[in-house]
Each structure stands twice: as structure tokens, then as C-alpha cells.
């Protein structure tokens, strides 16, 4: 789905799937949302609420620290794997673009779809780690540290609030909620995660105290 602000109201373009999705803007003119029938409606801008924001990030943090997210956001240059987040047994390196180094590319084993069978590689056409110049490390980060990192453009891939909201439906984010056979799903559904993610952002993106 596509939504647009007029030039006067600060143009915002976002893409989402689902029934009714709340989209945030720093504009005082409000937000525009589209339901599954293609009808547009104006939604008031959500006011800052530190309590609601921190509470929502608690749910966000649970998902981001689950193996389905954490394994591709390691502290080092080798991805993690499995539900216990052990170092990838093939020892592939991140590489400049996050897609592997030299002949050992992520796509060599991670195909466009999950490979059937237990302990087989999960798949997605865009499977990769964050690039070397923007590692987006989750491993070892406290809720405070991770929240601050996610809102820092120098550490989040230069993403604005609108970009971050859109990122909830990124292909690899969605892939995390559809793991390969035998792997645990994140502690929330994608719908629940997305609601918490957008709530955190639109109520001020506050970081927990620690």
C-alpha cells in the first residue's frame, strides 16, 4: 500500500501490508493510513509518552534479542546460528557488503527459500549480515544501548523514523518470523512485534533506563 502527504503537509511515502496500519510523521498535520479496501483516513499524531514507549520497547527488545534476529547482528564478523546462538560452524566472514567474503558467500548455502528438513539453512533472496561500515550489533547490548543505537542515524543506516517504521516489513525481518524447520520463532508474532515497534517509535522512541 502507498500513502502520501501533500507537499504542504510534509510529503511522506511508506509501504505497508495489512488491514489498518498506523504510520507516523513528525508533521503536526497528522498521519494518513489506508485500510485493506484502499480507503484513506487521517489519524492523529501519537503524542510522546515515555511510559508507553519504554513498555513497547520491552517487547521489541525481546524479539531483537531472540536468535532469529540476534544471529545476524553479532558483535564480531562471523554470524551466529541455532537457537543457542553459537558461532556459525562454517566460519563465514561478514565481508564489506555483509554478503560474505571471497568464495564463501551467504547465498551459497542460504537459498531464496528455507531449505526443507531439520538443521537445514534458512533462506531468503537477500540473506546477509549488515555491511562492515554499519554493523548494527545487537549481541551484548542492553535495552538502553540498543534503543539509542536504533535511533542514531550514524549507527542505523541513516534511517529516519519513517524509514524505521517501513523497516518492520523488510524481507529479512519477515524471514525471521518464518524460520527453517526445527528453529524457534521469535517470542511475538510479526503483527505483535510491528505494533510494539510502531508504538515505541510514535510515542517518542524513549530508551529504557538501562
The full DSSP string for the chain is -EE---STT----EE--SS------S-TT-EEEE-TTS-EEEEPPPPP-HHHHHHHHHHHHHHHTSHHHHTTS-SSSS-EETTTTEEPTT-----TTSSEETTEEGGGTS-SSPPSSTTPPP--TT--PPPTT-----TT--HHHHHHHHT-TTTTTS--HHHHHHHTT-HHHHHHTSPPTTPPPPSS-HHHHHHHHHHHHHTT-PPP--
Residue 47 pLDDT: 86
pLDDT by residue (tens digit) across 5-47?
Answer: 343 333 333 333 333 333 333 333 344 344 343 333 333 347 8
Residue 147 pLDDT: 98
pLDDT by residue (tens digit) across 9-20?
Answer: 333 333 333 333
Among the listed ranges 11-15, 113-117, 136-140, which one has the minimum average pLDDT value? 11-15
As a whole number of angstroms, the distance between CA 107 and CA 100 comes to 8
Q: Which residue has the higher pLDDT, 70 or 4?
A: 70
Q: What are phi and psi of 78, to 5 degrees?
A: -115, 125
This prediction's pTM: 0.78
**Backbone conformation region of residue 199, classed left if phi is above 0, alpha if psi is from -120 to 50, else beta:** alpha
Tally of CB atoms within 10 A around 130: 18
How large is the average pLDDT for residues 186-202? 97
**173 and 186 in contact (C-beta within 8 Å)?**
no
pLDDT by residue (tens digit) across 58-96?
Answer: 999 999 999 999 999 999 999 999 999 999 999 999 999
Give residue 124's pLDDT band: very low, low, confident or very high (50, 70, 90). Answer: very high
Amino acid at each position: 500500500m502507498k500513502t502520501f502527504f501533500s507537499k504542504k503537509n510534509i510529503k511522506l511515502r511508506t509501504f505497508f501490508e495489512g488491514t489498518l496500519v498506523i504510520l507516523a510523521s513528525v508533521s503536526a498535520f497528522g498521519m494518513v493510513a489506508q485500510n485493506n479496501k484502499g480507503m484513506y483516513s487521517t489519524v492523529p499524531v501519537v503524542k510522546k509518552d515515555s511510559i508507553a514507549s519504554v513498555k513497547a520497547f520491552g517487547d521489541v527488545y525481546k524479539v531483537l534479542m531472540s536468535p532469529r534476529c540476534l544471529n545476524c547482528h553479532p558483535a564480531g564478523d562471523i554470524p551466529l546460528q541455532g537457537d543457542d546462538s553459537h558461532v556459525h560452524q562454517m566460519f563465514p566472514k561478514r565481508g564489506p557488503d555483509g554478503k560474505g567474503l571471497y568464495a564463501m558467500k551467504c547465498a551459497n548455502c542460504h537459498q531464496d527459500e528455507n531449505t526443507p528438513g531439520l538443521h537445514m539453512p534458512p533462506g531468503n533472496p537477500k540473506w546477509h549480515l549488515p555491511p562492515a561500515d554499519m554493523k548494527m550489533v545487537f549481541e551484548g547490548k542492553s535495552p538502553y544501548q540498543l534503543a539509542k543505537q536504533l535511533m542514531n542515524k550514524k549507527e542505523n543506516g541513516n534511517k529516519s523514523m519513517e524509514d524505521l517504521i517501513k523497516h518492520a516489513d523488510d524481507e529479512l525481518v519477515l524471514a525471521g518470523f518464518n524460520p527453517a524447520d526445527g528453529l524457534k520463532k521469535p517470542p511475538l508474532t510479526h503483527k505483535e512485534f510491528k505494533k510494539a515497534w510502531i508504538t515505541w517509535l510514535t510515542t517518542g522512541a524513549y530508551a529504557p533506563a538501562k
